Structure 1
């Protein structure tokens, strides 16, 4: 989990370990990491790695929305597709059966009997997927009664127990493993010959990963899926997986697909989306409120009614403040911040420019003196180039050591304390360490009312350079914060909410 890595990085103020010397980062099952809602944690971890790193993302499935999110972590990405996206390998024989719930267990016993009846499969393994923890434990009990040694893993068991169970399964201590989708990724067992989806997967990516547990590294395998009459929604993705892998769709499955699509056209059903989908975060507030209500009922003080009235009044007051704030924001223009030049908007969008690389000058002669003369003329032209520097305007940033992206912030007209804060070595070092960018003070200081003349340096400004647009944006935001921290007129004005509470 990313949270454990963040805890290690934050332990003892970062003195336990750090990622500054890491040059190669691998994210396995990357789409699941982003799909489960871990994007902020992953970005935070990658922010601690040196910018000149190589990042590799692996996954058998990558939905489009997850792919766009994952590309944020990459610079100049190269995509390599082996076989196809979200496609079951051709070495796997896929069998999909539509049957009643009562006949599933009998059919499962028949499949296991056929598997172990052959002497060649004496050391074979079988993996059975269910959708719930209770179903896993119940199926484990039923198979044990029939004489099949097996074990189960699911999210309700400790990580140590799950690891030991998987190790025993690989070693052949027991030949059958019952699991939820927690074992659909990362499990690699060479002798795994049979995968049974006892409960059908609810989307395409889960089906591909479940079936992909067998038929690995050129070996053959069989994936059997049970569908019931009321699982029309799941039949659409399963039939799609069969078509993409070049295998025929059974007629009963096609009937379920047609029936579901007719309901979708009639508006009785909605087409299911793709991906695992992060869940649980939106329930945190509800669970917290429920816990508070339980505590009130357990420890009654006689003031529950008064507390509820206070909360209702507070909610009404917050609603009034929010409505008033939105009305003021819609009708009134924001007042300029004291001490900040009108031409510079610290609240505005940070503009990052892609650095233009110098174009080589083509010469018709190979005379070295001509090349030297051309280079000298180019240098003089750049030195003599004049103009007033404004915040966010592209500059002559074409040197050989220039970053791929850059942004600027003019600080000439800021108060002296603000200029000192943004150029202070301590503040700059914090920004450099957090973002891995380069921050340079350029230009010359001009008193108020004086403008640079042709041939003179532009006004004093900060140049931020970096390898990616993201790090330059973050570094520029840090310089804006430093300016506000050094400007006494800015302090405490831009971070207060309409009800005068500090955010």
Structure 2
């Protein structure tokens, strides 16, 4: 039996991502009890004025009717003796403000939106009611794998950390929890689920992977009655709204749903409220406000002076008992800064999304150890949920690009009523637009005196530019920024050049429109006077030849060597038209003359990695040597299933050889390479190592 085509395998994997809707009217759900809270006598006696004074003292604001009074001790929550012993063992004696209000509200069966500063104990605020909720339910039957509680988190690190907190309680209660997130082996996670689990902590993407396996029989959400969305604003802002909606649609409608975050912009709140029923909104402190347990400093530091200032701050704030996290904006900068610190005698670690999940987990574990390295250089992946008790200092080496990111990054210190310090460095070249957000953050926490006069002047100057229409404020929310390659250090002409490089790659089908440009700018620091002259000297009536030379000058040797790049440049310049319009598109060799055979092979629908594999210089050179076949990349890339534009063709290889047999053998080899790479990418995606960007999630029906 012939092996399946790689594109068929890929299509099957894509098909498996479809999460079908559930007709809840046909499901026989077991009844469960939401309201488990009995108001203690001491609280029942309080008058409305006394309750208002208590909320004011704790800085609690509640929106919604029927909210119970805040509790003053864990004993008033009706927790079991075993849970109380775990709390006592961990040294947790009295509830934090967010716990004081959220615990009775959630135990009373209400849907809740909880907003509180970082390090304020939000995890226990939803976990303790969940444990009591599970213990009140009928136990899992032998044929049931669970779960009863489902916790969704936007990041792998946050999911893993919540899982560890769960395990500290579940072991003594005879319960089980499982962590489901990408970047690690999916086989071990499936094993945990098959053994049965009461709590699942998951990222939305990996959870849908699991839910769609084995025709949806691997994991059932039929017993789920309690759903938590931690850092809910981040999940919605990352574009997980369709996945979250699909997951919630598969859970019984009468479930209890709670949302928590340290920041909750109004733009995200409207989306989140669609998932809840008559929720209580509990705000402790304020929306998007940094923790007042952190002493914050912000100063104007130019880029060339930042590293020296960093060494000063580390010398003052890092010792045997105190550690520091240094935040930067890109993966490249994280690695470079990590190497610089090592050269200057600081034993450090680096953490960013470009590392394998196993490396990221071990990095966090090493940093948490008392005898571990004292400095962690990280991108925004460490900005949420990371809890390191010994972290006494946060340094924003790169200024956060919006207020919510600032709040979460600063919140990595000063946790659990401990004190911390945070420093933010802002340069005037390309971070001026972020200065107003930083000044605002310190002002809202009553620390405006810790903003340097130079930074205040920069902020005021930028506000004036906005007022005059010369600039725009930096937006709120993450908006899928992604990682770039130090564009901040590029001149305007270099940015134009890189943009044109990117467009050329997209037209050639070697880069997806949503992706960042690969590392093609090693030479971007060359003398750019030629670029300046070319860009500024362009005119609408420049000749076609000038256009071609202009574009050619902006491409690196690596790009010029790509198959089909010459044709792409000429087409872009308008010198030649699409030759494909006159070429026959046949799936077999066509004889054009004596000892001259042509064949076309479409590669448009293969994953990007596979297309790169067969078009890189080494591959085309090998095909030329072994099969005496010239390989040229032609056409324009279109998304699978998308109809080509008029006058354009989908991406394909144009093959020329002197023999029909040789040409056929070359096609067999090309197909082997494409299939091999496609299957490798698909297998990697299924085992949690990432994969092709063509995999999409979809929701069928309602």
CA distance in 1, matches of 2:359, 2:275: 34
CA distance in 2, matches of 1:276, 1:228: 21
Q: What's the counterpart of residue 363 of structure 2?
A: 165
Q: What's the counterpart of residue 99 of structure 1?
A: 301
Q: Secondary structure at the match of 1:315?
A: coil
Q: Deviations over 1:157-177 (max 9, x none)?
A: 111111110011001321110
Q: What's the counterpart of residue 509 of structure 2?
A: 291
Q: Does 1:184 find its partner at 2:383?
A: yes
CA 1:254–1:292 in structure 2 vs 1: closer, same or farther (change >3 Å)? closer
Over alpha carbons, which structure has the higher Rg? 1
8 Å contact from structure 2 (residues 350, 376) kept in 1:
yes
Q: How does 1:53-452 map to 2 (within 5 A)?
A: 53-116=255-318, 121-172=319-370, 173-230=372-429, 231-248=431-448, 249-278=451-480, 290-291=508-509, 297=564, 304-306=580-582, 315-316=645-646
CA 1:229–1:279 in structure 2 vs 1: closer, same or farther (change >3 Å)? closer
Q: Secondary structure at the match of 2:284?
A: coil
CA 1:303–1:132 in structure 2 vs 1: closer, same or farther (change >3 Å)? same
Task: For residue 296 of structure 1, report the CA deviation from its aligned partner.
Answer: 7.6
Q: Deviations over 1:310-342 (max 9, x none)?
A: 999963599xxxxxxxxxxxxxxxxxxxxxxxx
User: Unaligned stretches of 5+ in structure 2?
Assistant: 1-202, 483-498, 512-558, 568-577, 584-633, 649-698
CA 1:192–1:316 in structure 2 vs 1: closer, same or farther (change >3 Å)? same
CA distance in 1, matches of 2:503, 2:242: 19
Q: Deviations over 1:207-235 (max 9, x none)?
A: 00010000000000000011112221010
CA distance in 2, matches of 1:139, 1:309: 42
8 Å contact from structure 1 (residues 36, 279) kept in 2:
no
Task: For residue 243 of structure 1, report the CA deviation from its aligned partner.
Answer: 1.1
Q: What's the counterpart of residue 485 of structure 1?
A: none
8 Å contact from structure 1 (residues 136, 179) kept in 2:
yes
TM-score with structure 2 setting the length? 0.42
CA distance in 1, matches of 2:433, 2:566: 46
Q: What's the counterpart of residue 81 of structure 2?
A: none
CA 1:279–1:190 in structure 2 vs 1: closer, same or farther (change >3 Å)? closer
CA 1:160–1:306 in structure 2 vs 1: closer, same or farther (change >3 Å)? farther
Q: What's the counterpart of residue 433 of structure 1?
A: none
CA distance in 2, matches of 1:73, 1:240: 31
Aligned-residue CA RMSD in angstroms? 3.2
Task: For residue 114 of structure 1, report the CA deviation from its aligned partner.
Answer: 1.5
Q: Secondary structure at the match of 2:274?
A: helix
* Stretch of structure 1 that moved more, 244-253 or 257-266: 244-253
Q: Secondary structure at the match of 1:167?
A: helix
8 Å contact from structure 1 (residues 18, 48) kept in 2:
no
CA distance in 1, matches of 2:392, 2:637: 60
8 Å contact from structure 1 (residues 91, 215) kept in 2:
yes
Q: Does 1:52 find its partner at 2:254?
A: yes
TM-score with structure 1 setting the length? 0.58
Q: Secondary structure at the match of 1:161?
A: helix
Q: What's the counterpart of residue 27 of structure 1?
A: 229
Q: Secondary structure at the match of 1:80?
A: strand
Task: For residue 137 of structure 1, report the CA deviation from its aligned partner.
Answer: 0.8
Q: What's the counterpart of residue 535 of structure 2?
A: none
8 Å contact from structure 2 (residues 289, 445) kept in 1:
yes
Q: Deviations over 1:386-421 (max 9, x none)?
A: xxxxxxxxxxxxxxxxxxxxxxxxxxxxxxxxxxxx
CA distance in 2, matches of 1:278, 1:298: 30
8 Å contact from structure 1 (residues 215, 221) kept in 2:
yes
8 Å contact from structure 2 (residues 509, 636) kept in 1:
no
User: Unaligned stretches of 5+ in structure 1?
Assistant: 319-473, 479-503
Q: How many residues align?
A: 315
8 Å contact from structure 2 (residues 508, 635) kept in 1:
no
- Runs of 4+ in structure 1 deviating by more than 2 angstroms, as ranges, are 283-300, 302-318
